[in-house]
Structure 1
Amino acid sequence: MSITAKFGIFMIIAASALAGCSTNKDEMLPPGYSNMLELWKGTDGESGVSRGSEARSTLRRGLSDSEQQAALSDDNSYSRTQESEISQQFPRLPNPDMVMYVFPHLAHGNTPVPGYSTVFPFYDQTQYAMPGERTEAL
């Protein structure tokens, strides 16, 4: 196949693709009084009926009993209750401490230092678990 034939076929395909995507201006912006908000909502200026809501209403159907129960349980699971306020969603993870006792001693040979204990936490900051990750009591 020659280059001119390939170019001709390409031009025919490109022209048909561009013609298929074209739209009449009266179809896109209907004549008459309409502001941008009405055009955005899909209503025309005179009747005020939304073409989009008419199309959606034909697709709507009622919920079955099981779907209504599932919707109610979903709503209740997100609401705040006294129990959910008291329980911790992100429980604190245990941070073990290492307790060390320093015996009485002399500092620099002649200054007495009394015995004392000190605490070293293993982690520098408090760590939290993700919801449901840790279920046992701390």
Structure 2
Amino acid sequence: MGTLLLIFVTIMSIVGIVMSFLLLVKNQPHYRRRLSLRNFLVLLLVYATVIIGFGCIYLSLHFLGVSVLLEGTGRMDGPLAHLIEDVMYFSAVTLLTVGYGDIIPEGIGRWIAMVQALIGYLLPAAFVVTSIVYNERSADRL
């Protein structure tokens, strides 16, 4: 039963990540407004969703017995609150920077971290490009 719950959480995390990307692409600024609070909040929501989604994936794999992250010299262990804190920290650092090296991915965790880092680099570019394309389409309609 616990394994099914972890698989469900992992699938829901992936669905949440995809849905937040769709929200980012769909939610465009109004014509002639290049920057708005609404766009900033959407981008912030997308980043938060991706951080939490990948954090849930790392945590689910950890509970399934797959070693994905090393802290210091050994496997991450400890109370649940500490594990959640570590995976969310690693997820945020991987998405927003290239990492600090205090928590290291291993095995399949390396591939997941690479995908997450790539998403972290592509998100701002996708946001800017979709905003520019939308503004150009809106200008052509007038």
Please state which band the TM-score falls in when normalised by the shorter chain: under 0.3
TM-score, L = length of structure 1: 0.21
The structure that is helix-richer by fraction is 2
Comparing both chains, which one has the higher relative contact order based on Cα–Cα distances under 8 Å and sequence gaps of 6 or more? Answer: 2
TM-score, L = length of structure 2: 0.20
